[in-house]
Structure 1
Amino acid sequence: MRSLAAALWLLLLLPAPSVVAVKEQDFKKCHESSFCRRGRALADRATEHVKSGEKWKSPYSLDASTIVLEDGGSRFTGRVRSSLYPEIKFELDVRVHEDGVVRVRMDEKEGLRKRYDEAASWALLKEPVLSPSSKWSVGKKEVKVVYGAKKDQVEVTVEFEPLVVRMKRNGKDQVVLNGQGLLHMEHFKKKVEKVEAEVPVVEGEETQKVVQLPPNSWFEGVTEDGWWEETWKTWTDTKPKGPESLSLDINFPNHGHVYGIPQHATHLDLPTTKGEGASFNDPYRLYNGDIFEYPASSSSLSLYGSIPIIHAHSADSTVAVFVAVASETWVDVAHPTQKSTETHWISESGILDIFLLPGPTPDQVFGQYARLTGAVQLPPHWSLAYHQCRWNYVSSDDIRGVQKRFDEEDIPVDVFWLDIEYSEEHKYMIWEKKYFPDPIDMLNDVAALARKMVIIVDPHIKRTVDYPVYKEGQELDLFVKNKQGNEFEGWCWSGSSAWIDFFNPNSWEWYKQLYKFNGREDGKWSWTESTSTVHIWNDMNEPAIFNGPEITMEKDSIHYGGWEHRDVHNINGMLFANTTSQAVKERTTPYNRPFVLTRSYYAGAQRFAAMWTGDNMGTWEHMAVGIPMVLSNSISGMSFTGADVGGFFGNPEPEMLTRWYFVGAFSPFFRAHAHIDTKRREPYLLAEPYKSIVREIIRLRYSLLPVWYTAFRESSVTGLPVTRPQYVVLPKNEAGFSIDDQYYVGASGLLVKPITEAGITETTVHIGEDQVYYDFYTGHAYRGSVKGKSVTVPAPLERGPLLIRGGSILPSRDRPRRSSALMKRDPFTLKVALSQSGNASGELYLDDGESYDHREGNFIWREFVAESTKKTVTISSKDLASRNPDSAVDGVELAIYNGGNAFANALDGVRVERIVVLGLKNKPTKVTLGKAHLEFTFKDGMAAAGNKEGVASKLTVKNPGAFITSDWSIVLEL
């Protein structure tokens, strides 16, 4: 978000962001970053050696005589030597986790300084348990471990010379580390005076004075390129530790598709950055940044978050690699063949700390990653509903007026948001009383209609003694330091600002106390003009600093423990959101679930916050690229994600805005947001027919909230993404591996294909299996095929393409309400979409939506099943938790579960008001529930069996006498 008023004094620092699009020259390319230049040059030298017929061999080897088996043989350590620097000591540590994940660590030992080695500790949920049964064995040329079933064995070898790590499955390479010999851990050096020479550092640039290396440095190059100091534009980055970058090739010889390493505006299936016909010239950059009006396609413009995980997929298997590094990182991607992928990772600092996730299915990869970094926590139910935001709602009366208009127009909404202008001089948590004179009354007025508010709190702390947050933080010495060891000062919306150092554990409890709306026990300041219905939005936490290099903090700034900002940059913003989440949670007794939206994030952030894709633009291109961006974040752990509906910048025409509402309604996080300079575009302001269409789209989101909440429950347990790309759901269908403009919602069977172009009335949907799919609105049946098939579906403006996979049962609540909290006792409709074999299944998960009582077994978890025989179809409801005593909810195992728990009892009497069955072969002769005969209507249609397409048959049973909390069976006699 941006502020016009606050930006007036910034005009000399930055262009007005609402007028000028991003200037790519304000952000580095690889050739402008010395460590990236060095890493890419190393790869180029290796390539040239191979092309010229010369041998390229990694200088790193594992000294077999130093290998020690530890922890019962599930782990080994050993000394790694470099032929270039035999006096430098490196240690390798390789271990097998109990779920088959392999961790590979390498660090410099007894060096001049210590490398940053704490990235994993911030990302990991807990220290992984080692496998008691996987034993390493030492051979003449390698160390090896084999584990898994005989027909699906994983073999990991660590070859001695050169050092290469291979993970194989059934004899086939899955992941290879250093197979191309690009491993290079720059060891710490002493700065000495050397002979300088005039050479061109970058091709095409003027010559510069650089220090030349010895002539035999075939591996490292010929010059000291940016080792001790680096100047870019007006900033000079001092490097007191000298060069410490890490380069490594990570290759997937039998996987032709790779996904992940968010956040970038590009396709889900990552386009290439090297090789013939590469899509981009620069590697993918992982360096959290504030890039407003970002282009709809870029590799080098890394956006607000960074998750260093990459998935590799083929029809045979899926694997993933998580690289626990927190510094700026560049990743090259190449496909030497259609069936293989090479990646090259170049990081500025840190140790080598890599987790190899063996899969072999997408589901197993997600589970392995969730056990490492945690799954998304089950969010408050209301946070899955519709959010209305704008920079800025300007007063208490403005909020009241917006709420009133939503109700007058019968448009549901759950959350209103306040941007930075609510605060006095951008001193967050202190109200601007000129415009918000009665904040508690305003908050209570919103809460009276069962709604919430989300209010922004940015990380920059205005440096003024009349701001108690700054005064206390300064007294407690909790702020980041500059390179001289004094309090770091930068400029942001607050003017002269300081930044809390959340790497300092002393900051955590202090910061959480600031959110106590009932006051602090020590009597010091807290946000007492707040309530339990207020939740928090963390923006600008990359951190964004207007007068800093690349609009962020200088890399030689100092954090707790003496670490430089370069070492921890990508983690920094996550810690702010993590602590905020804990603060919002712990302000109440008993605790309620917090909602925090963060712009900056890292691996593990999914345990605490939702995220959005930042300052997008109101264009068709940005609407379209937002979909793969959401999918990319989802498969990387950040399932609770979405893009600003309508685009943050610009004034989308009604057709575009209407289409965007459909995109938002089928994103996990559904929020409309707009820049301060845009025209008001709340949905009630639209002319007809757009207003009515948008109203129905939002209502559709509300009716499907049971589907979304159930999907989040599954994600909180398994790590599976809430929105799932084709390759995740149908991992054998090669035609779907690169599809990223359609996706599934959880395991519900809903297949979504948003329209992201103007003037579209029909589109194609890929059905990647031999199954029937039904149009959600009309019941039209479409047929797939074994190899996959594209079908043409209608796409009128009033309803985006939405199909139900045959074999699914969808629970919905179809009565329009003003907010989701008012739906708690509403009845359900079950839509049964029979498969080609006449069967179907689905789940429903419910709890109170706000507390943690579900962790004590207070919830409803039902399974609906339709089973066909030649003469009957039986539709039943069964309790899932009692049938799965080892099940978990929200990552918490429930050893004891009582189907008659307090929450279930509170919903006793909530009924199923309608059952709709699609795809019956024949009209039933009767429908019964026990001895009761039920009334029904039947519309004939195309038979479910066979290859014909057309409108499917539809059976409707109203008021069957079934209840959501009890077991029952309805029999259709054919």
Structure 2
Amino acid sequence: MDWWKTLIIVGVLASFCHLAHSVDRGNFKTCQQSGFCKRQRDIPEHESPYYVDPTALQISQSSVKFQLNSRSPKAAPLAVSLFTLIDNTVRVKIDEASPLEKRYEVPVGDVLTSEPKEQNFKIIGRDSGKMTLSTANNNNKVIIYFDPFQVNLLVDEKLVTSINSRGLLKVEHLRKRKISSSSTEAAENNNNNNDNENKNDDDDDNDDENDDDDDAPDMWEETFKTHTDTKPKGPTSVGLDISFPGFQHVYGIPEHADSFALKSSKNTDPYRLYNLDVFEYELYNPMALYGSVPFMLAHNALNTVGLFWLNAAETWIDVYSNIADKNVFSKLVEFVKGDQEIPLIDTHWFSESGIIDVFILLGPQPNDVFRQYAKLTGTTSLPPLFALAYHQSRWNYNDEQDVFNVNDGFDENDIPLDVIWLDIEHTVGKKYFTWDSDKFPNSVGMLDRLAARGRKMVTIVDPHTKREDGYFLYSDGKANSYFTKDRQGNDFEGWCWPGSSSWLDFTREDVRRFWSSMFSYDNYKGSTKDLFIWNDMNEPSVFNGPEITMPKDLLHNDGWEHRDIHNIYGLYVHRATYEGLLERSENHDRPFVLSRAFFAGSQRYGAVWTGDNTGEWEHLKVTIPMLLSLSVTGITFSGADVGGFFKSPDAELLTRWYQAAAFQPFFRAHAHLDTKRREPWLLPRENMLAIRQAIRIRYMLLPYWYTQFFNSEKDGAPVMRPLWVEYPSDVKTFGLDDQHMIGPAILIKPVVDQGSVGINVYLPGGAHELWYEFDSYAAYHGGQDLYVPVHLQKIPAFLRGGHIVPVRERVRRSSVLSAHDPYTIVATLDARMSATGDLYHDDFHSNEYKNGKFVHRRFTLENMSTFTSVDLNKGSGRSMITDAWIEKILILGVKQNPSRVTLTSQGQHPVNLVTSYSSQLKVLTIRKPAVNINADFKILFH
């Protein structure tokens, strides 16, 4: 390597390794520095110039197709297809009517799990100005207005979504560049590099009549700092406004370090979706971070609506909160009676390339939207149990002895642990799928030693490949032309942790198969079945690239530019790794793969985390809204680095972070190599004890977590969820993002302020709802703000009345060792003295559950008279035999001690059970009912 390249790389790496005080914003674009963002955002709000020719509609049983013409001479005709889909969903696709060449669309099967199934509609009204369709048993309507073009969607006669009501539809059509006298020779050469430039030379149908702005800045090339982005296809952006009348809150479009309810962007940049490596990111701004999910939810007391914008290019979204103006939005507010004013959320979506492909999910309730979105992009596969337990990581554990010391430290301090992680220093020269033989001379022996205590290991495998002849990954990738190409068709060379690197083109199926094959035991030497994987830097991160990522004019499969696929690149890496682990076990064992970059559909391949956060109180606070945003947009298995990746948190902050993270889906401590060691026993003893208690609570609740993830795989509902999911009509919950639910039964409000001696918790549900404090069993009515005194070990958490939560009170050193332990069932009575819940149980690691080999029980306690267990796995054709049993049942809120409690199981004679009752706590304990969890049984209270 040239000496000057070495110096630059050293400088770049040094800038990444130091502990900065804040992100360098100068490395990342603002909207004003992005040509297409500026052009789209500068469109004035107006009556749309687009209109439909109603005589040329193509109508089928489930779709309407038509052409949009424009009164603007510079706008090309557009082709629109509107589909009604099963389960209350409407899809609108907008493309050029006659493009010079095909515009990019994400292949079906990559984000969408399959081609969405269509549903028939009825035409219930049509005149010269509009056509009205009815869907979903006539409860919903779609109204297509012809001139100007607009689409309104109604649920139960309520207008919930309006498309193009502000007239911001814009598609920058593909064109041939007109070389003027002011054009440079370099620009002409860049233009000639387009493979399709000379096609259709005699066809001027798509040329503007008068392209005055063809050579305007940022149209055919764009420079940011020292990087110039050539654009041989010219400007190709698409944009559309979508409004939510009647709504005041919208959520989603992660990833941003901001509040859960999205703020107005009127005086800021729009929210940006562009996967970027932003270490020590700033809080409460719309800057892009590591992942992108172009999915938004609008919620009010009556309805929840989802908006999915299927586009993998850089995307910006403006959000405005308004009152509907009848003078401007006459078609939008024609449903408003009298002089009534209605709230309105206006959104404006624009992407750099591709087509407009938008799905409107009509709910009408939160869980309906989650199910509808899951039908499009899939659900989170049930993780192996160890993945839901506690993970210990650091950049880096130094060697095998360091790993063993950490492993022993958890046992010596009686702290459960399931996984130890290794970062990039475990490799030979940052060459992935290798082990440094000096530091890790016997990786198999190390893995086996961990496994003997029921523990796993995760190693990092990043997508950048060191350009070193003789390194098998690089040699094979180069020989087979597997790497992403630059504009000249050569393997792209950039810089990352190994120095000079290339990046596999994961958009290609054959390349993904090649990558997957690397995880076989023959190729990843030194690995075992107890080793799992972490994909970092897969935005992708390129240290010397524009905005620390790939140049947009790189070339991928079939000649698509990187600008077309950027936000989906990380998903492809995640997918290929997941499939590699599946193949490694011949599809028997469930993989675990953590990814930093993500897109819609990434939930199918494992967990994500919120990247390089900082050990500060504000970063602890923002974990809740960030994870809620991920959860409601399908990324249900997510977490944040406990303690913050950067800096060294003090003992109080680290303790409170553990307590918060113990109630979040992915639970991992991780830290930068320059931070102080943070293993829990290194803290003062009172802090270590509080942390140990938090981790042990996590392990005690693993049966409940596991059951919720099983249910989530079926219906798409998030495991960590905002309060309004459970209380959709309680307006006080709409803006809350400092407390949350786990499933339907547990409410948690972590302590996130330094020196707190008490916090206020909102208990929703009205006075009829009962809540039980997690540690004291004290009962409180809902519909109130409750002041909770706190001390160092206090975690404000509440059990919701009317629910049943399975737990395991015997906490082992790892979750694997508890696989056959008995369960305790905790029932919390509601005002009707009833409760219900479920328990899911399988072998905790294999895919056999997909063949019906599991136990799923529904527990019901009715009116404090009868407790029953029924089988929810009937008809699967296959059941699971287990020796797991119920050793205790706790019932909270019991007003008086029953005289006798009897058990009947599968036709056996009634057996009197041993019970105890606390009149002070109002808790009834049934000791050792000793019934197998797979048995139908009934308990009677006399």
When normalised by structure 1's length, the TM-score is 0.89
1:113–1:241: 8 Å Cα contact kept in structure 2? no
Of 95, 99, 120, 2:83 maps to 95
Please tell me the residue identity of whatever aligns with 1:939. Answer: S
CA deviations 1:616-643 (Å, max 9, x no partner) are: 0001100000111011000000000000
**Matches for 1:762-777 after TM superposition, within 5 Å:** 762-770=758-766, 771-777=769-775
> Which structure 2 residues correspond to residues 199-238 of structure 1 after superposition, within 5 A?
224-238=216-230
Q: Residues 936 and 958 of structure 1 are in contact (CA less than 8 Å); yes or no, is this contact kept in structure 2? A: yes
Using the TM superposition, give the Cα deviation of residue 221 of structure 1 relative to its aligned residue in structure 2, in angstroms: 8.7
Quote the residue 1:778 is aligned against: 776
Distance 1:135 1:511, change over 3 A: farther
The 3 A distance-change label for structure 1 pair 322 and 395 is same
* CA 181–768 in structure 1, closer or farther in 2 if over 3 Å, else same: same
Of 799-808 and 762-771, deviating more is 762-771
Aligned to 1:39: 40
Per-residue deviation, 1:157: 1.6
Q: Distance in 1 between matches of 2:29 and 2:209?
A: 27
Deviation at 1:171, TM superposition (A): 2.5
Cα distance in 2 for partners of 1:137, 1:434 equals 77
**Following TM superposition, by how much is the alpha carbon of 1:137 offset from its aligned partner in structure 2, in angstroms?**
6.9
The answer to whether the 8 A contact 2:379-2:716 is kept is: yes
Cα shift at 1:141: 2.0
Paired residue for 1:920? Answer: 894
1:359 aligns with 2:363: yes
Provide the residue aligned with 1:259 in structure 2.
251
Distance 1:351 1:60 in 2: 17
Matched, 1:160 2:146: yes
1:315 aligns with 2:332: no
> 1:478 matched to which residue of 2?
482
Conserved in 1, the CA contact under 8 Å of 2:433 and 2:524?
yes
Q: Which of 835, 838, 843 is the aligned partner of 1:843?
A: 838
Residue equivalent to 2:561? 564
Cα separation, 2, equivalents of 1:8 and 1:455: 28
Shift of 1:223: 8.3
Q: 1:291-310 maps to which residues of 2 (within 5 A)?
A: 291-299=278-286, 301-310=287-296
- CA shift, 1:508, in A, is 2.2
Measured in 2, the distance between the counterparts of 1:219 and 1:58 equals 21
Q: What residue in structure 1 maps to residue 406 of structure 2? A: 402
Answer yes or no: is the 8 Å Cα contact 1:378–1:713 preserved in 2. Answer: yes
Query: In structure 2, what residue type is equivalent to 1:920?
Result: V
Structure-2 residue corresponding to 1:751:
747
TM-fit CA distance, 1:83: 1.9
Rate the CA distance shift 1:86–1:389 in 2: closer, same or farther, 3 A: closer
Cα distance in 1 for partners of 2:919, 2:515 equals: 63
Matched, 1:491 2:495: yes
CA distance in 2, matches of 1:22, 1:726: 32
1:142 aligns with 2:130: yes
Matched AA of 1:818: R
Provide, for residues 556-594 of structure 1, a one-character-per-residue CA deviation record: whole Å limited to 9, x for no partner: 111111111111100011100101100011111352110
* Mean Cα deviation higher: 410-419 or 792-801: 792-801
Which of 327, 352, 359 aligns to 1:348? It is: 352
* 2-structure distance, mates of 1:759, 1:319: 40
* Pairing partner for 1:965 from 931, 934, 937: 934
Q: Secondary structure at the match of 2:317?
A: strand
Question: Are the counterparts in 2 of residues 502 and 576 from structure 1 also a CA contact under 8 Å?
Answer: yes
1:819 aligns with 2:811: no
Helix, strand or coil for the counterpart of 2:468? coil
State whether residues 938 and 954 of structure 1, in contact with CA within 8 Å, keep that contact through their aligned partners in structure 2. Answer: yes
SS in 2 for 1:657: helix
Aligned pairs for 1:73-88 within 5 A: 73-85=61-73, 88=76
d(CA) in 1 for partners of 2:885, 2:8: 58
Whole-angstrom distance in 2 between the partners of 1:455 and 1:561: 33
5 Å-filtered alignment, 1:198-597, equals 224-274=216-266, 281-299=268-286, 301-337=287-323, 339-517=343-521, 519=522, 526-597=523-594
Closer, same or farther: CA 252–685 of 1 in aligned 2, 3 Å:
same
Change (3 A) 1:503 1:854: same
Contact 2:12–2:543 (CA<8 Å) still a contact in 1? Answer: no
Q: Does 1:181 align with 2:161?
A: no
How do 1:927-942 residues align onto structure 2 when only pairs under 5 Å count?
Answer: 927-930=901-904, 931-941=910-920
- The residue type paired with residue 934 of structure 2 is T
**Pick aligned residue for 1:719 from 710, 716, 719:** 716
Greater shift, 691-700 or 330-339, is seen at: 330-339
After superposing the two structures, state which structure 1 stretch, 547-556 or 21-30, moved more. 21-30
Task: Provide closer, same or farther for how the CA distance between residues 170 and 527 of structure 1 changes in structure 2, counting only shifts above 3 A.
Answer: same
CA deviation after TM superposition for structure 1 residue 119, in Å: 5.9
Are residues 753 and 219 of structure 1, via their aligned partners in 2, closer, same or farther at CA, if it must alter by over 3 Å?
A: farther
The answer to whether the 8 A contact 1:74-1:136 is kept is no
Deviation, 1:133, is 5.2
The answer on whether the counterparts of 2:886 and 2:933 sit within 8 Å (CA) in structure 1 is: yes
- The Cα offsets for residues 316-345 of structure 1, whole Å up to 9 and x where unpaired, read as 100011000111111111101383200111
For residues 830 and 245 of structure 1, the distance between their equivalents in structure 2, rounded to whole angstroms, comes to: 55
Task: Determine the C-alpha separation between the residues in 1 that align with 2:209 and 2:619.
Answer: 46
CA shift at 1:499, angstroms?
0.4
Gaps of 5+ in 1: 1-5, 47-55, 198-215, 520-525, 886-895, 942-951
Report the identity percentage: 42
The answer to whether the aligner puts 1:19 opposite 2:27 as a matched pair is: no
Which one is further off, 169-178 or 264-273?
169-178
**Amino acid corresponding to residue 25 of structure 2 in structure 1:** E
Q: Which moved more, 1:822-831 or 1:671-680?
A: 822-831
Of residues 94, 107, 112, the one that matches 1:106 is 94
Question: Over aligned residue pairs, what C-alpha RMSD do you find?
Answer: 2.0
Aligned twin of 2:825: 830
Counterparts of 2:800 and 2:872 in 1: how far apart (Å)? 22
Q: Which one-letter code corresponds to 2:165 in the other structure?
A: G
Amino acid at match of 2:316: W
Q: Residue type matched to 1:765 in 2?
A: V
Cα 1:193–1:220 change in 2 (3 A) is closer
Higher mean C-alpha displacement, 15-24 vs 357-366: 15-24
Structure 1 residue 172 and structure 2 residue 158: aligned? yes
Task: Say yes or no: does 1:863 pair with 2:858.
Answer: yes
SS in 1 for 2:537: coil
Q: Greater shift after overlay, 161-170 or 249-258?
A: 161-170
Q: Which amino acid aligns with 1:26?
A: N
- Alpha-carbon separation, structure 1, partners of 2:347 and 2:809: 48
Instruction: Tell me how many residue pairs correspond in the alignment.
Output: 887
The SS at the match of 2:689 is helix
Determine if contact 2:858/2:869 at 8 Å carries over to the other structure.
yes
Structure 2 counterpart SS, 1:39: helix
Question: Aligned equivalents of 1:327 and 1:915: distance in 2?
Answer: 53
- Seen in structure 2, the aligned counterparts of structure 1 residues 160 and 17 have a Cα distance that, compared at 3 Å, is farther
Q: Within 2, Cα distance between the matches of 1:133 and 1:84?
A: 33
- Measured in 1, the distance between the counterparts of 2:511 and 2:437 equals 29
C-alpha displacement of 1:528: 2.5
Post-superposition offset of 1:109: 3.2
Counterparts in 2 of 1:119 and 1:757: CA distance versus 1, 3 Å: farther
Q: Aligned AA for 1:648?
A: F
- 2:60 paired with 1:64: no
* Residue 599, structure 1, aligned to residue 612, structure 2: no
Residue 955 of structure 1 aligns with which residue?
924
- Name the counterpart of 1:123: 111
Give me the TM-score of the superposition, normalised by structure 2.
0.92
Q: Would the alpha carbon gap of residues 117 and 220 (structure 1) be closer, same or farther in structure 2, given more than 3 Å must change? A: farther
Q: Which amino acid aligns with 1:709?
A: Y
